[in-house]
Amino acid sequence: MNAQVQERLPELLELAHDRSESGRLALASKLADLFLMDDVSLTAREEDLINELIDLLLKAGSSTVRQALAQCFADTARMPRKMAMGFACDSLDVAHDVLLNNPALTDDDLITVVETKGRDHACVVAARQSLNEAVADALVTTNDLQVMQIVAENLGAKLSPRAIDALAEASRLAQTLQRPVLERPELTQELATRLYWWIAQDLRRIALQRFNISAGQIDAALAKAINEKLNEHILERNEDAAMGRVLNWLEERQAIAPRLLPQLLRLGHFRLFNLALGRMCHLDPPLIGVVVSETGGRMLAALCRALDIDKATFVSIFLLSRGSRPDEQIVHPRELSHALAAFDRLTPALAQDLVYSWRKNPSYILQHQDELTALEA
């Protein structure tokens, strides 16, 4: 037996019988000193003896004792793997330093901790100085935004295509992830383009500078983002508050334009269509509701003319908007004829004057439709 171990053995055994917390703390300190001394080479029997005493502390010691012992071994590779896992799966105050720093833990060990313990343990694992792809994958697939943010901010983490894709997808709705994801070295131009319309405006400028995204890619990405946004809120399409938030999202991206209107109607977003049309014409939603539902489509023709919408787009808007009517959705040919006649008889300038008068006197829409009726004559 090593002379230094033999000399200290009586003291260690005496401390092992001391069940007080101070005795346990003293034993933890002595064991760590002995185990970690550079000039001591332990035999297998000596290591077993020390491990038995450490197991005693882990099982019988208080949290304070276990924490003290864990801190002694936190950053040393000489800690036996079994012991390291014992600390890593303990309460966070005991596990923290070992999880953060100990090199004895393998990727499989860290993945086990992530999959079996809670968010707090996963957050510490995510903050390790270096993370291999397998561990990063396990952390990202928790779908916990706090854990994902720590991984994204950890430049010592190696991210697989699967992980960076998951982080990019999550960052669409989580602003705290957007900048860290945008700054990741693994982010590709394709992912940056997909993210472009979901991130904050100042970050879009950074994306343009870093990835040199073309105007064509930006336009295509906007069309896709709008479609995804509308589909995400399809179950809320009859809720004004939810549709108001979607409208604000569209407006912030300068996407409220005539070309958007048929897209809204095709997806069944009739409420959002009314809100968007109202914002474009500066008319309140209740008035837009009257305009859109009016039989014959004359007032709708006037709004579309005022917005300088072309005839083909107007026909699409008129036919699709009939789907919001509760009574019938089939458009009679005569109704379409009347709508087209009204559209043809109005110039954009005349239509703009008409809409301006509605804006100044909203009751006109409800009470005075004579001028529009005359357009059919």
**Residue 289, both tokens:** 């509701």
Of 190, 193, 195, the C-alpha closest to 169 is 195
Does residue 53 register a pLDDT over 50? yes
Closest CA to 304 of 317, 293, 320, 321: 317
161, 194, 199 from 183: Cα distances, Å: 15, 15, 13
303 pLDDT higher than 90: yes
Amino acid occupying residue 11: E
Work out the pLDDT band at 372, boundaries 50, 70, 90: very low
Q: Rounded to the nearest 5°, which phi and psi values hold at 326?
A: -75, -25
Gap between the Cα atoms of 89 and 145, Å rounded: 22
Specify the DSSP class assigned to residue 17: T
The domain segmentation of the chain, as residue ranges, is: 1-87, 106-213, 235-377
Specify the residue for token string 């407006």.
251
d(CA 104, CA 122): 17
Can you spell out the DSSP letters for 20-54?
Answer: SHHHHHHHHHHHHHHHH-TT----HHHHHHHHHHH
Q: Two tokens at 283?
A: 């008319």
In whole angstroms, give the CA distance from residue 352 to residue 334: 26
Q: Whole-model pTM above 0.85?
A: no
Confidence of residue 348 (pLDDT cuts 50, 70, 90): very high
State the Cα–Cα distance between residues 82 and 51, nearest whole angstrom: 10
Q: What is the pLDDT of residues 79-113, one digit of tens each?
A: 667 778 888 888 898 888 889 988 889 999 999 99
In one-letter notation, the amino acid at residue 294 is E
Predicted confidence (pLDDT) at residue 42 exceeds the cutoff of 80: no
Nearest to 372 by CA among 294, 274, 317: 294
pLDDT tens for residues 233-274?
999 999 999 999 999 999 999 999 999 999 999 989 999 999
**What are 141's two structure tokens?**
């697939």
Bridge partner residues of 157 (DSSP): 131
Give yes or no for a contact between 29 and 65, defined as CB atoms under 8 angstroms apart. Answer: no
CA 197 to chain centre: 14
| Alpha carbons 147 and 39: distance in angstroms, whole number | 41
What 8-state DSSP symbol labels residue 90?
A: S
Helix, strand or coil for residue 20?
Answer: coil
- Cα separation, 168 vs 152, in Å, equals 10
Cβ contact 271:243 at 8 Å: yes
Distance in angstroms (rounded) separating the CA atoms of residues 37 and 56 = 21
Flag whether pLDDT at 322 surpasses 70: yes
CB of 165 closer than 8 Å to CB of 141: no
- Per-residue pLDDT tens for 111-141? 999 999 999 999 999 999 999 999 999 999 9
Q: Take residue 41 and report the two structure tokens written for it.
A: 């080479």
